Structure 1
Amino acid sequence: MAEAGEPDLGRGTTARRVVVHGRVQGVFYRDSCRQEAERLGVAGWVVNEPDGTVRVHAEGAPDAVRSLVEWCRTGPTRAVVHGVEVTDTNAEGLGSFEVR
């Protein structure tokens, strides 16, 4: 069951869209995010955006998604995160996590 303020998208699945601002491209952010998502059992994707941000779609167990969102606030060693926008979104029913 989802926590208060978190939509329960069926079978205990939560989905979040994260936009990460800062020095987050060219520092292995996407692959590091994929590795962390796989470690946590989170499905979804990560992509570099033309405006210099990184966008993440994460879905899975609420605690695992929450942990990945927290990881996004710091990212890999070479990243410098200035801000993170997190919004609820719909699950896409994905079975893995990919770099796009």
Structure 2
Amino acid sequence: MKAIKGNITGKVQGVGFRMYIYRQADRLGLSGWVSNNPNGTVDFHAEGSDVELSYFTDLVRRGNDFCDVESLEYTECETENLTTFKVID
């Protein structure tokens, strides 16, 4: 099990992006969370296998039809031993 945390910039708030990330993580069986920041960016924490996390970051970078991801930065971090993936308001 590996964990990553990241930050996404661009047109990523008010466009269903957090729900998109949630759906992709759920589909891949990842645990973690995603949340909006006051500065207009989105943060996430995801836990899973190397392959799942690699695929997840590719999907996040692509985004949905309504967003415009300018940058995705992420690093490996400590696992939080989460069991589900959730959207934090």
TM-score, normalised to structure 2's length?
0.95
Q: How much is the aligned-residue C-alpha RMSD, in angstroms?
A: 0.7
Which blocks of at least 5 consecutive residues in structure 1 are unaligned? Answer: 1-12
Aligned residue in 2 for 1:66: 54
Query: CA-to-partner distance for each residue in 1:25-61, whole Å, 9 max, x for gaps?
Result: 0010001110100100110000000111000100011
1:26 to 14, 39, 50: 14
Distance 1:96 1:61 in 2: 15
Query: Where has structure 1 moved over 4 Å in runs of 4 or more?
Result: none
Aligned residue in 2 for 1:54: 42
Higher strand share: 2
Q: Relative CO higher for 1 or 2, CA cutoff 8 Å, sep ≥ 6?
A: 2
Secondary structure in structure 1 of the residue aligned to 2:22: helix
Higher helix share: 2
The structure number with the bigger radius of gyration is 1
TM-score, normalised to structure 1's length?
0.85
Percent identity (aligned): 36
